[in-house]
Amino acid sequence: MLPPEPLQLNSNGFIIQATHFPPSTPSSTAPAVLIAPATAVQAAFYAAFAAFLAARGCPVLTFDYRYSGKSYPPGSLPLGEKTEANVSAEELIVRRKAEDDAKLAQIKLAPECRIDREYRWDMETALRWVLGRYGSVRDVVVVGHSVGGHLLPLMPQDLLVKVSRSLWVGAMNPALVFAPDPAEQAKRMKTILDATDKLGYFPSKQLYGQDLPSGVGQQWFGWMKYDNYWAHDHAPTFQHFTTPVLTLAFTDDALTQGLVAKTDAIVLSLPASRTTRLNLDPKREGWKACGHVAAFAANHADEGCEGVWNLMGQWILDRRVAKKGEARHFGGGCLAPMAKL
């Protein structure tokens, strides 16, 4: 297999970092894939899944939203791309602390960064690269993890018409109305937002792996006040979104209290899209934990033809949906004959 290729893409003047995984067989007609990450999840986390798809003939692009992963202003991080080889454990701790401090300093300089503006620009930039490189010779599939799914309907129509289908993982509606105790949840959110105002950034590192610009967290929590979440601000756009979607959610996801209501609510905001919602119990399927993030973890690579990666891969490769879990069809009806993987 060809090695991954690091890329720098200009997103409205901000350079985001991306990685291109070339297909193992360049002559393959397998789809080209864009993996749009979840909030606070680094692109590097998807590398094993991207390699899994590349080994099956799919060219894949991963990327980091600005102020996440490796996407920071040039020269702002003390380590840059320096290797950590032959460094003592003590020195490594010092280096990583310096890197974390530099990232937080940059995050605090970008309080205006928003999901439906800057993150949208970054995903659009990545999608344009995939379509420009492969759109004329292959289908293009977007894998949207959590917010990566939420952002797809906001892409320009001239790009969306070239997207064959999309897989959404953990892209549910987290509105307060679906919380077990909405009043208690609202109190917790207020505490975090008060801390955001005081600190100058959204303190999400303990929960989600990294801190975020204030505007990202404030918009995220702001949408949660509305029953239709992000559709509150973008209903006309979502009404006209027609890309076929398979949306997956897992019963071991800590964010899935009221799983069916949350996953149904997100796709009901997309009435023109032919969508299948599939809710899955990893334990019953014999899989390792999937949760909100772990379905893309490298430890799923050895689950074989009955694993969660194979299920996702079949949809990406040939639009098949397994007879697994609890399914419901929306919009234009069934996407394809249900076929056992």
User: What's the pLDDT tens digit per position in 293-325?
Assistant: 999 999 999 998 889 999 999 999 999 887 666
Positive or negative CA dihedral for 250, 253, 255, 259? Answer: positive
Distance (Å) of CA 54 to CA 37, 64, 182, 248 = 18, 19, 43, 21
Dist CA 75 CA 10 (whole Å): 16
**Position 14 pLDDT exceeds 90:** yes
Mean pLDDT score, 17-22: 98
pLDDT above 70 covers a percentage of the chain that reads 91
- Please report the pLDDT score of residue 338 as a whole number: 36
Confidence band, pLDDT 50/70/90 cuts, at residue 83: low
- Please report the pLDDT score of residue 259 as a whole number: 63
Confidence band, pLDDT 50/70/90 cuts, at residue 81: low
- Please report the pLDDT score of residue 339 as a whole number: 37
Mean pLDDT score, 68-79: 89
**Position 16 pLDDT exceeds 90:** yes
Mean pLDDT score, 7-34: 95
- Please report the pLDDT score of residue 321 as a whole number: 81
Convert the pLDDT of each residue in 240-282 to its tens digit: 999 999 999 898 988 766 566 777 888 788 889 988 888 889 9
Dist CA 31 CA 101 (whole Å): 39
Q: What is the dihedral of CA 19, 24, 26, 30, to 10 degrees?
A: -90
Dist CA 204 CA 97 (whole Å): 17
Dist CA 62 CA 60 (whole Å): 7
